[in-house]
Amino acid sequence: MKSMILLLLVTLTTSAVAAPLHLDLEMTSEEYQKLLQDMEKSNFKRKQTSDPSVEKALKIGGRLSQWIALVNQSRSPETAIRLTSAATRRGIPIDKPNFYSPATIEKETNALLNELPKSMTEVLLSTGDLPTSIGMDDESFITHARRVDKNYQSAARYKSIDQYRADYIRAANRDVRGFHYLMVNKIEEEHLVDVASIPGSKVDRIRYALIQLCLNGTGNLNRCKKEVNKAFSKNTVAAVYKRYIKAGKTAWNNFFKIPPHARRHDFKWLETSATVPFNTPKIAKFVPYLKNNVEDEFRWNGWGLKINFGNYPNGPLLKFQAGVVPHVNELGGNEIVMDSNQPIEEYESQWTIRHEFGHVIGLPDCYHEFYDVYTNSYVNYQLDVTDLMCSRAGNMNERIYLELKSAYQNR
């Protein structure tokens, strides 16, 4: 984890707008627990947030995890209580972003304590021994537990990142919801020539979208608010759209494009396939773990990616560390670091190695998180929940294939 903290510090000092803790938006509670534990154990001196509502949600969620673990000790893998699976992944769509803050966490905690079955609330609030059974049918328990677990995750995420709030405020410059709204609703310059012709129900949303576009281009929120408000009063809204739509498009594309510096020189593109070298893992079981997951994922319409295992001094390799947040050392980098505490047979591990391999071949994350001064909360979303690089609900798709082809075909 110390290496992960160092990596995050490097990110903090070398990027003006990227959030310093760009963590997967769909981390499990177990992953959050490890992150918080390792941050507390490390010599990392930044002060972590301690808010009573956040700590209460963490305590309740932590007790839920302990309860489930105890119950599962007497169950088979087939009947174990599980709160996540490939089938339950839904992602966080850009038009339905996730908002979280001490206020939202406290509100949800209070709602949970009022709405959960009394038997469940008593266990979660108690400090005594945990029961070895759940006292209700599995489906009902899992439905309630997922709400508790989600609130725990919001609290854990808040505690992990709020020490960097100033950086997350700057990350709002990359918020592309404005560009997305205008594109989805097919709103173009010609529709904004006359303010009076804009439907009243859309005025506020268009105003906000244009402020976000301006922010993509200037990075100055106060300036953008003044400029857009003035445009509405002077009937020059179309000019603002024209001035900043390119900046919005660029911000959007940057979540998907492989940057030149991340393009691998050892990635060989062929007509129906591509090859990439990889250092053969010393432990035999990790060879099929890599090969089966990566080659199963990176294929499209007759084209497929192939791993060439061998000994490559400057080639990609797989490392394992206990409790680490899975990551690649840099975009287009050579080190995939995975958590050795997570069984490779689990869905989470299999999705993660596919996603992280995407970073090895230069594909960036297509999700975003920032602090919204409008709502005084953190906001996160995925640009496309069907995309492997955006969401754990996503997979390889034509977009990824075409981006790889564009980056590597003529190298």
DSSP string computed for 295-331: HHHSEETTEEEEEEEE--TTS-EEEEETTPPPEESST
Give the per-residue pLDDT at 410: 85
**Selected residue with higher pLDDT from 354 and 10:** 354
Residue 102: is its pLDDT beyond 60?
yes
Give all domains of the chain, ordered by start, each with its CATH number.
24-163 (no CATH), 177-253 (no CATH), 260-363 (3.40.390.10)
E strands of 113-249, at which residues? Answer: none
Question: For residue 84, what pLDDT band results from cuts at 50, 70 and 90?
Answer: confident
The fraction of the chain above a pLDDT of 70, given in percent, is: 92
Average pLDDT of the residues in 75-95: 85
Condensed to tens digits (0 to 9), the pLDDT of residues 6-64 reads 334 333 333 334 556 668 898 888 888 888 887 777 655 555 557 999 999 999 999 99
pLDDT of res. 12: 33
Contact between 389 and 258 under an 8 Å Cβ cutoff? The reply is no
CB distance 303 to 321 below 8 Å: no
- Answer whether residue 5 shows pLDDT above 90: no
User: Does the pLDDT of residue 4 top 80, yes or no?
Assistant: no
Pairwise CA distance, residues 183 & 16, whole Å? 27
Looking at the DSSP assignment, which residues form a beta bridge with residue 157? none
CA separation for the pair 154, 99 (Å, rounded): 9
What number is the average pLDDT over the span 210-215? 97
For residue 315, pLDDT over 80 is answered with yes
Give the confidence band of 373 by pLDDT, cuts at 50, 70, 90: very high
pLDDT of 22: 66
In whole numbers, what is the pLDDT of the chain averaged over residues? Answer: 91
Long-range pairs for 279-286: beta carbons < 8 A, 24 or more residues apart: 279/309, 279/310, 279/311, 279/312, 279/315, 279/316, 279/317, 279/318, 280/309, 280/310, 280/311, 281/317, 281/318, 285/344, 286/318, 286/344
Alpha-carbon span 301 to 47, nearest angstrom: 50
pLDDT of residue 42: 67
pLDDT at 338 over 60: yes
Give residue 11's pLDDT.
Answer: 38
Is beta strand 367-372 parallel, antiparallel or unpaired with respect to 303-310?
Answer: unpaired
pLDDT of residue 387: 97
Residue 126 reports pLDDT greater than 70 = yes
* DSSP string across 245-285: HHHHHHHHHTTT---GGG--TT-EE-SSEEEEEEEPPSSTT
**Which H or E run contains 99?**
strand 98-100
- Per-residue pLDDT, 7: 39
Q: What is the mean pLDDT of residues 374-397?
A: 95
Q: What is the average per-residue pLDDT within 226-235?
A: 98
Q: Work out the pLDDT band at 323, boundaries 50, 70, 90.
A: confident
